[in-house]
Amino acid sequence: MPASRNKRRIFIIVISVFLIAGAAYLFFGDQIFSNDGFSAANQETYASFYKCVENQTVEKVKISEDKIEYWLKGSDVKYVTQNPESPSLKETLLKNNVQVESSKSSSQIISFISDMIFYIFIAAILIIAFRKVFSPTAFKVQHKTGKKFSDVVGMDSLKSDMKQIMNIMHNPKEWARKGIRMPKGILLEGAPGNGKTLFAKALAGEANVNFIPTKATDFESMFMAIGPMKVKSLFRKARRHAPCIIFIDEFDGIGTRRNYAGSAIETENTRIVTALLNELDGFEPASGVLVLAATNSIHALDEALIRPGRFDARFTVPYPNKENIKQLVKMYTKGKSFTPECTVEKIADLFSGYSCAKIESVLNRASLIAIQKNKSSADMQDISEAIKEQESAK
């Protein structure tokens, strides 16, 4: 049995014991703690007791929840009377030089136990919340991405540029002796759906290094200052698993220009950007960690982040060209049924200026439209209908 499951069971057992104990005190507290001990021979009225107090003949008093025990001066005999729960009784006794001793009532004990259960419950919620925030799976290390450059259509120039970086990642000390360091960060800019995430996975797979995928929303939290702590946690994990690529998708969601006089959300974003800057500046040339960030708008990013020495290289991930579109059509029509008129060239002519994701979506929708029409194969008309749906959804 996993250790985490054992800890969870122990925690449930402890909470259950406290709850049962609290219930026992709540329902049976009076029986457990009440002990009348009233002896008929020593039973006195409250009026008689109070008169003795006024006459200053009482030496010591013990006050319980439902009774008062008292001893007269020069006597070892214990007398018992009822407790009227008068708020001024203790003050009166002290004014008459009486030694006063109070015992905790069952209600006080029940209150104490209830408070303890409440504090334990709150502590458990906080522990669970923080464990959720800093869960070991929050930034999961992928040792194998399952992707290679062969899975990425086009981007030949970008693939070529990355080969030397991969070499430096595997031999950072050797390159450091030549006075060459690996870039600390690389920015991939381009329209959504053109394969920035796929390329990042393929790069890690091709380089055979560890890969930590993240996105801007992973750094958001209901608690202030948690975002910067997550940044530090992410980079610590990356250093432990070097050589490693940190991939931050939707980078413009957390790397925007800092606003020191903004709202609480903008203040938290400023702290996250500052934490990123500190981590990037703390990189050693031979750390073996590369930050790969994807953004749809490089102009929205904080200037301090994208200056040389932090994100050293910038690459644009373009829309696929005509040849790339043909390769994508072949890839996305594989396993689907299309009529003979739907040649790769004809389909490709319809997708000029389309992103990779949009091409895949249109061809998938065309196949669904054909099935709705009870046709065995999709035709050019189905593809045209799918395109119109895409355009009208804008």
Radius of gyration, alpha carbons of the chain: 37
| Tokens (6 digits) for 129 | 């919340």
Whole-number Cα distances in Å, 151 to 159, 318, 322, 392: 12, 17, 18, 31
Q: Identify the band that residue 34 occupies on the pLDDT scale cut at 50, 70 and 90.
A: very low
Chain centre to alpha carbon of residue 220? 8
3-class DSSP assignment, residue 170: helix
- The better pLDDT of the pair 317, 269 is held by 317
The pTM (predicted TM-score) of the whole model is 0.62
Strand ranges, E, within the chain: 58-63, 67-72, 78-82, 99-102, 185-189, 210-215, 244-249, 289-295, 311-316
Which residues, in sequence order, are CB contacts of 23 under 8 Å at separation 6+?
none
Give CA–CA dist 81/213, Å, rounded.
75
How do residues 266-281 score in pLDDT, each as one tens digit?
A: 677 778 888 888 888 7
How do residues 357-386 score in pLDDT, each as one tens digit?
A: 899 999 999 999 999 999 989 999 999 998
Q: Minimal CA–CA distance to 248: which of 223, 274, 271, 219? A: 219
Give CA–CA dist 224/46, Å, rounded.
60
Say if residues 168 and 178 touch (Cβ distance below 8 Å).
no
pLDDT greater than 70 at residue 290: yes
Q: Identify the band that residue 36 occupies on the pLDDT scale cut at 50, 70 and 90.
A: very low
Element housing 114 (H / E): helix 106-133
How do residues 20-31 score in pLDDT, each as one tens digit?
A: 665 555 555 544
The residues that bridge with 68 in the sheet, in sequence order, are 63, 81
| Tokens (6 digits) for 97 | 């030089």
Return mean pLDDT, the chain: 80
| pLDDT recorded at residue 365 | 92
30-44, 195-209, 248-262, 289-303, range with the lowest pLDDT? 30-44
Give CA–CA dist 89/95, Å, rounded.
10
Say if residues 377 and 370 touch (Cβ distance below 8 Å).
yes
| pLDDT recorded at residue 61 | 92
With vertex at residue 321, the alpha carbon angle to CA 346 and CA 291, rounded to the nearest 5 degrees, is 140
Q: Identify the band that residue 38 occupies on the pLDDT scale cut at 50, 70 and 90.
A: very low
- The better pLDDT of the pair 362, 1 is held by 362
Give CA–CA dist 94/88, Å, rounded.
10
The residues that bridge with 313 in the sheet, in sequence order, are 186
